[in-house]
Structure 1
Amino acid sequence: MLGFIKRIFIWWHDNTLGHSFTMWKRGARLVGEDVQGNRYYEESKPGSFSGGGKRRWVVYHGHADGSRVTPEWNGWLHHTFDEPPTLENLPVKKFEKPYLPNMTGTPMAYHPKGSLSHSAEKGKVAEPYEAWSPENA
Structure 2
Amino acid sequence: MSFLQRLSARLAGRAVGTDRFGNTYYESAAKQPVYDRTRRWVVYKGAPDPTSIPPEWHAWMHHTVDAPLSEVKRYAWQKEHRPNLTGTPASYRPAGHDYAGGQRRATAGDYDAWTPGS
TM-score (ref. length: structure 1): 0.67
- 1:61 maps to 2:45: yes
1:73 paired residue number: 57
1:118 paired residue number: 100
- C-alpha distance in 1, partners of 2:24/2:5? 17
Q: Which runs of 5+ in 1 are unaligned?
A: 1-13
More strand per residue: 2
Aligned length: 110
Deviation for aligned residue 1:15: 4.2
Deviation for aligned residue 1:84: 2.3
2:31 pairs, out of 34, 46, 60, with 46
Per-residue Cα deviation, 1:103-132 (whole angstroms, up to 9, x for no partner): 21111111001222211xxxx523225436
RMSD value, Cα: 2.5
- 1:20 maps to 2:2: no
| Higher-Rg member (1/2) | 2
1:128 paired residue number: 106
Question: Which residue type is aligned with residue 100 of structure 1?
Answer: R
TM-score (ref. length: structure 2): 0.77
Identity %: 34
- C-alpha distance in 1, partners of 2:8/2:38? 18
Question: Which residue type is aligned with residue 103 of structure 2?
Answer: V
| Runs of 4 or more consecutive aligned structure 1 residues displaced over 2 Å after TM superposition | 18-23, 89-96, 124-133
